[in-house]
Amino acid sequence: MKKFVWRIEYSLTIFAIFAGILFMIPTSFTSKTAVFISRWNSEYNKIEYAFSALSAQAETEAIESFINSKNEKEREKFMVKLIKPYLRLEDRVSKKKYVQHYMNGKVVPKDDLYHFDLLYDNQDDLIVGIKDVVDKTTDSPVYLMMIDTNGHKKPNTWGKDIFGLNIYIDGNINPIGYGWDVDKLRKDCSSRGTGLSCSHFYRIGGEFVE
């Protein structure tokens, strides 16, 4: 009888442990995502501070330098020079293999607007990408910036560990997805969308949609 009772108690213990593991799996994924989002918010705040500091110094020469830059590469290098101290960028451009994905699983094509070639490693193990968008009107961004919140580690996916923002010629910035209506944000920030708009959606308290 004692042996029978012991077997029941042993079986119940194993079952409880197994159930506990199953219960913890989704929580661990949620926690991982929360870390990525928290880091994105932190980095965005740093960038916002950087540009507000530059604007406060009335950087008219900086704007003129941008406008008079001869080509895309010069403009990109110019922007990197401005933000480098604030984002603790390394001197070298990242040379490691790095493939960017959309949230729906598709690889971001090289000719896509949101594919970044100019990537910088960061002293806090981030990857920072800068891209010139050519359009110099105040209504459209002149640069795009991406932040991979866990560097070269996977998933390297927009809306999971990659987030981004628009930079305007007047020094203002906003996260990608800013100005979109909530339904569009929710649709894009899902396993069926690109994940680009998660950059803004998560900042206003939105949640991931399967």
Measured between alpha carbons, how far is 61 from 63 in angstroms, rounded to an integer? 5
Which backbone phi and psi does 29 adopt, to 5 degrees? -65, -40
At residue 6 the predicted structure's pLDDT band, cuts being 50, 70 and 90, is very low
98-149 pLDDT per residue, tens = 999 999 999 999 999 999 988 999 888 999 999 988 665 557 888 899 999 9
Q: Is a pLDDT exceeding 90 seen at residue 77?
A: no
pLDDT at residue 209 is higher than 80: no
pTM: 0.78
pLDDT (mean) for 155-166 = 96
Q: What confidence score (pLDDT) does residue 93 get? A: 77
**What share of the chain in percent tops pLDDT 70?**
74
> Is 37's pLDDT higher than 60?
yes
pLDDT above 70 for 7: no
- 30: pLDDT confidence band, cut at 50, 70 and 90? low
CA atoms within 13 A on the CB side of 196: 17
What is the layout of strands, in order, in the sheet containing 127-132?
A: 89-93, 119-122, 127-132, 143-148, 162-167, 173-175
What distance lies between CA 94 and its chain's CA centroid? 17
Q: Which residue has the higher pLDDT, 128 or 82?
A: 128
Helix (H) / strand (E) element for 42: namely helix 2-56
Q: Which residue has the higher pLDDT, 109 or 8?
A: 109
Q: Which has more pLDDT, 171 or 114?
A: 114
Q: If you average pLDDT over residues 178-194, what whole number do you get?
A: 95
Of 90 and 104, the structure prediction assigns the larger pLDDT to 104
Q: What percent of the chain has pLDDT over 90?
A: 44
Type of residue at 89: L
Computed over every residue of the chain, the mean pLDDT equals 80
**Residues 45, 38 contacting (CB under 8 angstroms):** no
